Structures are given as structure tokens and as C-alpha cells.
Amino acid sequence: MTQDDIMDALQRQKQQLEGQLPSLLSRCQTDPERTVLTSAYARASQQWSEAVNKALRTNNPLLASLVGDLNNLQDDIAAMIAESADFGSLLQKIATGVGIGAKIVALIK
């Protein structure tokens, strides 16, 4: 696990949400859905920015697992977007990804 791997995973999450945000917002039917989505994007952006501003401690074996989980989840999200999957399930996956990102950021110094 390298610093680049960790940064790439966090950046990919941010960019995935950023690139799909207009399309996903148009699928929101309620204000709470819009809030969940925009909050997830804001948190993903913040996580990436925090990671950029910190030196990563990459010797923690949990980081490799979390980065792998995040990458797999991002692939699932991309597939769900392409398939126009159930929006509630998609929002849950996005929230899970942001939660994984928070764990990654917590492990870096």
C-alpha cells in the first residue's frame, strides 16, 4: 500500500460523486435525499483535502483493506449508476463509501 494508492482511492471517490452529482440530484425526490447526497459529496471532498494536507502513515495494515473496500465499493456504485439501480440503495452505498473514507482519514497522520 503506497501513499499514491490511498490518495487515488480518496480522489476517485470524490471525483465519482462530483461527476455524477447533477445526474444523481435529478433522481432525488425528497429534500432528505438531496441532503444525504450533497453531504456525502461535501464529506468526500473534505476527506480528500485532509489527506492531501497530511503525511500518510502507510504501515497500518488496515489501510490496505479499507482502500481495497473503497475501490470495490466505487466499482459497485458506478455499476449501480449505469443500471439506474434503486436510488435508496445507491445512496446507502455512497454513504458507506464516505464512511470508509472517514476511517482511512482517521488512520493517517
Pick from 105, 76, 91, 70: which is nearest to 21 by CA?
91
List of residues 6+ apart from 88 with CB closer than 8 A: none
Tell whether the model's pLDDT for residue 9 goes beyond 80. yes
Tell me how many domains the chain contains.
Answer: 1
pLDDT score recorded for residue 61: 83
Tens of pLDDT, residues 55-102: 666 678 888 899 999 999 999 999 999 998 899 999 999 999 999 999
Task: Give residue 26's domain range.
Answer: 3-107
- Model's pTM, two decimal places? 0.79
Q: How far is CA 94 from the centre of its chain?
A: 6
Question: How high is the mean pLDDT of the chain?
Answer: 90
Residues in the chain, overall count: 109
pLDDT score recorded for residue 64: 87
Tens of pLDDT, residues 21-55: 999 999 999 999 999 999 999 999 999 888 887 76
List of residues 6+ apart from 51 with CB closer than 8 A: 6, 7, 10, 104, 105, 108
DSSP structural state of residue 30 = S
Helix, strand, coil: what percent of the chain each, to 5? Answer: 85, 0, 15
pLDDT score recorded for residue 109: 66
